[in-house]
Each structure stands twice: as C-alpha cells, then as structure tokens.
C-alpha cells in the first residue's frame, strides 16, 4: 500500500512539474515575461528588479529554476487591471465560484448517480430510454445555451429569478442549476455504463442464481463494484469545477474565478491567467491523487496486493 501511495504521489508531483513547466514555456514563448507579468506601465526599476529576480539575463535553465522558486513563493505578478497581486485577485473570487460549483456538484451527484443506476437496472425499458434521452440532451446542449434558455424562461418570461449579478442567493440559483444539470447528464451516462458492465459480470449471475433477492444482489454486489470506476469520473468532475464554471459564470455575470479568467484572457492579463492555470492544475492533480488514495483503500484487489507483498 505504501508503495502504491508513494508511486501515485510521485506521479502527481511529476504532473505538477509538467504543468508548471508548460506554463513557463508558454510564458517565454509569448514575449518578454517582465512586461507580461508587470504590465507595460510599470516603472523601469520594477522591470530591473523583476529581471534580476527571475534571472532573465541568465541561461534558460537558471530561469527555469527561478521560475519554480517564484511559483512556490507565490510571487506571480500583479493583475494588470488594478495592480494588485494576481494571487490575491484570484483568491478573493474563489469563494464565489465555490458557492455555485459545490451545490452544483451536489446536484450532479444526487441526480446523476441514481439516474444512471436506474437506467442500467431497467435496461432497454422505457425508463432507460427516457433517462438516456434526457441525459443525451444534457450533454449535447452546451452549457451556455442551457443557461440562456433557462434565463429566458425563468428570468425574462416568468420573472421568478434574476438573470445576472450576484447580490442575493436567488442570483445563484440559475448558474447552479445550469451547471448541475449538464454535469448530471454526464454522470448519468457514465454511471449507467459502469453499472451495465458490472451487471454483465458472471459473479452477478452467480449471486442471483444463489437465490439472493435481486435487490440484495444490486446493493451488496453490483453497486459497490460500480462505485469504483464512478469514483474516477467524480474525481475528474471535482478537479474541473473551475473549468465548468467558466462559461456559466459568464452567462450569468457571476463574478467568480471563471468569469475572471475570461476577462483576463480578453485583456491579456497574463499574470492572472497564469495563477488560474496553476490553480486548476493543482486542483486536478489533487483530486486525482485523492481518488487514487481512495481506490487504494476501497478496491479490495489493491488491498490484497498489499497483503501479499507484506506476507
């Protein structure tokens, strides 16, 4: 088990290194980092200090290491718009994004998981077809279309909910629901596949033939086994919370990290972009690592390997 964990942590570190390196490469490709990070209006002394700090006059591998150092010190430059530290600018938006993405995640799981399981159990009946049709609609309709349509119905026509801004909790409803529905569709489809694959295994047939009630077979055998691959997709969803929020926050003018990213890209506020990039990368790696650790605990096959290695 320890070996397994260590290997997973090691791989996570490698991925993080890759991400930071990629950011470094792209940064260097797109021009003078000093201007990019500090903005064109910074005073010349700031440029000089920056250049020295980042070692821009030194060979490229020195710059590479200094860049890593800068990243770990949180010295990632200032937002061009208001000159504040990019880290701070991003940081203050995180709670807002979480305010809609976490409830959305909850919705995704609460609707998606049962829907997928039900569809698998009632395979090829009208229940299955219905759920699958709805879920297909869920991921062929882009989130911005769904968001706008919901806004049109609930904000414009019915007037129940506001369509933009973030003043009251009512403002959070539409963005949350939009993201939740789209994600629920993806989860439903995936859970259905995982469940179908488990149901097709010989041991399910054996369990049923042993005389167990079908609902016990499902509860004790099918569901736990289907939970394992589902864990992966949940991990992915957690890691891509910000990515999902990008479009939806823009549709509803919700001032979270996603919207900040869009604006930063449009204004080429690269310090902010860089921070968000690293943030998302770390979140993904962290989520994957957490999933891997959970696997190691939950999946008995890996547990057995531990026991075998230790005997």
Partner 1 sequence: MTIDTTPNLEPARPAETGGSVFTSKSGLRAFFEAWPPLVLIALLWIGLIAVVVIAAMWIAPYDFMALDLRARLIPPVFMGGTWAHPLGTDELGRDVLSRLIVSIRISMIIAFLSTVIAAIVGVTLGFVAAYFRGRIEQVILMLIDAQAAMPFMIIALAVLAFLGSSLMLFTILMGFYGWERIARISRGLAISANERGYATAVRDLGATPFRIYSRHILPNIASTLIVSLTLNFPEVILLESGLSFLGLGVQPPMTSLGNMVGYGRDYIQSAPWIMLAPSAAIVVTTLSISILGDWMRDKFDPTLD
Partner 2 sequence: MSGLLQVNDLKRHYEVHVPEGLFGRKASLKAVDGVSFSIEKGRTLGLVGESGCGKSTTAKLVLGLIPATSGTVEFAGTRVTARHDAHWRALRRRMQMIYQDPLGALDRRLPVITQIGEPFEIHNPEMSAAERTERSALLMDSVGLRPDMAMRYPHELSGGQRQRVVIARALALEPDLLVCDEPVSALDVSIQAQVLNLLDDLRERTGFAALFISHDLKVVRQMSDRVAVMYLGRIVEAGLPEDVFRRPQHPYTKALVSAIPTPARRGKRERIVLEGDPPSPVDVPSGCSFHTRCPIAQASCRNEVPKLVESGGHAVACHLVNAGAAPAVQAAE
Q: Select the residue interacting with partner 1 from 121, 174, 233, 234 (CB under 8 A).
A: 121
SS3 at position 123: coil
Identify what 158 binds: partner 2, partner 1, none; CB under 5 to 8 Å per kind: none
SS3 at position 130: helix
CA–CA gap between residue 249 and residue 257 (Å, rounded) = 8
Q: Judged by CB under 8 A, how many residues of this single chain contact partner 2?
A: 3
Residue numbers 124-153 binding partner 1 by CB under 8 A: 124, 136-137, 140-145, 148-149, 151-152
Q: What are the tokens at 200?
A: 């097709």
Give me the least distance between CB of 109 and partner 1, in Å please.
17
Of 67-75, 89-97, 173-181, 201-209, the window that binds partner 1 (rule: CB under 8 A) is: 201-209
Identify what 52 binds: partner 2, partner 1, none; CB under 5 to 8 Å per kind: none
Q: Judged by CB under 8 A, how many residues of this single chain contact partner 1?
A: 62
Identify what 310 binds: partner 2, partner 1, none; CB under 5 to 8 Å per kind: partner 2
Give me the least distance between CB of 85 and partner 1, in Å please.
18
Give me the least distance between CB of 31 and partner 1, in Å please.
9
Give me the least distance between CB of 1 and partner 2, in Å please.
12
Spatial contact of 274 and 23, defined as CB atoms under 8 Å apart: yes
* CB nearer to partner 1: pick between 166 and 250: 250
CA–CA gap between residue 269 and residue 89 (Å, rounded) = 12
Identify what 183 binds: partner 2, partner 1, none; CB under 5 to 8 Å per kind: none
Spatial contact of 204 and 217, defined as CB atoms under 8 Å apart: yes
* CB nearer to partner 1: pick between 3 and 267: 267
Spatial contact of 138 and 147, defined as CB atoms under 8 Å apart: no
Residues 258, 260, 266, 270, CA torsion sign: negative
* Distance (Å) of CA 162 to CA 119, 156, 273: 34, 8, 29
Give me the least distance between CB of 309 and partner 2, in Å please.
6
* Distance (Å) of CA 67 to CA 10, 28, 78, 158: 21, 11, 15, 52
CA–CA gap between residue 195 and residue 201 (Å, rounded) = 10
Q: What are the tokens at 192?
A: 């259905």
CA–CA gap between residue 195 and residue 118 (Å, rounded) = 9
Residue numbers 281-310 binding partner 2 by CB under 8 A: 308-310
DSSP 92: H
CA–CA gap between residue 99 and residue 249 (Å, rounded) = 11
Give me the least distance between CB of 176 and partner 1, in Å please.
19
* CB nearer to partner 2: pick between 8 and 305: 305
CA–CA gap between residue 53 and residue 47 (Å, rounded) = 10
Query: Would you tell me which residues interact with partner 2 (CB under 8 A)?
Result: 308-310
Query: Would you tell me which residues interact with partner 1 (CB under 8 A)?
Result: 11, 14-15, 18-19, 22-23, 26-27, 29-30, 121-124, 136-137, 140-145, 148-149, 151-152, 156, 193, 199, 204-205, 208, 214-215, 218, 239-240, 242-244, 246-247, 250-251, 261-262, 264-266, 268-270, 273-274, 276-277, 280-281, 284-285, 288
């Amino acid at each position: 088990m320890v070996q397994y964990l260590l290997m997973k942590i090691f791989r996570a570190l490698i991925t993080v290194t890759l991400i930071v390196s990629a950011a470094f490469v792209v940064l260097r490709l797109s021009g003078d980092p000093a201007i990019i990070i500090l903005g064109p209006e910074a005073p010349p002394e700031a440029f000089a200090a920056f250049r020295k700090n980042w070692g821009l006059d030194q060979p490229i591998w020195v710059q590479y290491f200094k860049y890593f150092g800068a990243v770990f010190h949180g010295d990632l430059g200032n937002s061009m718009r208001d000159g504040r530290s990019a880290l701070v600018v991003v940081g203050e938006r995180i709670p807002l994004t979480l305010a809609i993405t976490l409830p959305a995640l909850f919705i995704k799981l609460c609707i998606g998981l049962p829907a997928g399981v039900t569809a698998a159990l009632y395979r090829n009946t009208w229940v299955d077809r219905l759920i699958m049709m709805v879920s297909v609609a869920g991921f062929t309709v882009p989130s911005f279309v769904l968001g706008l349509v919901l806004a049109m119905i609930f904000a414009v026509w019915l007037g129940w909910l506001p369509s933009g801004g973030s003043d009251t909790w009512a403002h959070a409803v539409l963005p949350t629901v939009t993201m939740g529905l789209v994600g629920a569709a993806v989860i439903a489809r995936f859970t259905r596949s995982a469940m179908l694959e488990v149901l097709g295994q010989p041991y399910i047939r054996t369990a049923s033939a042993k005389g167990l009630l079908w609902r016990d077979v499902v509860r004790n055998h099918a569901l736990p086994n289907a939970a394992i691959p589902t864990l992966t997709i949940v991990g992915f969803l957690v890691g891509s919370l910000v990515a999902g929020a990008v479009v939806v926050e823009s549709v509803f003018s919700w001032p979270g990290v996603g919207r900040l990213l869009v604006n930063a890209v449009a204004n080429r506020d690269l310090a902010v972009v860089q921070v968000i990039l690293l943030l998302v990368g770390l979140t993904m790696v962290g989520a994957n690592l957490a999933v891997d650790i959970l696997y190691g605990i939950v999946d008995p096959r890996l547990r057995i390997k531990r026991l075998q290695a230790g005997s």
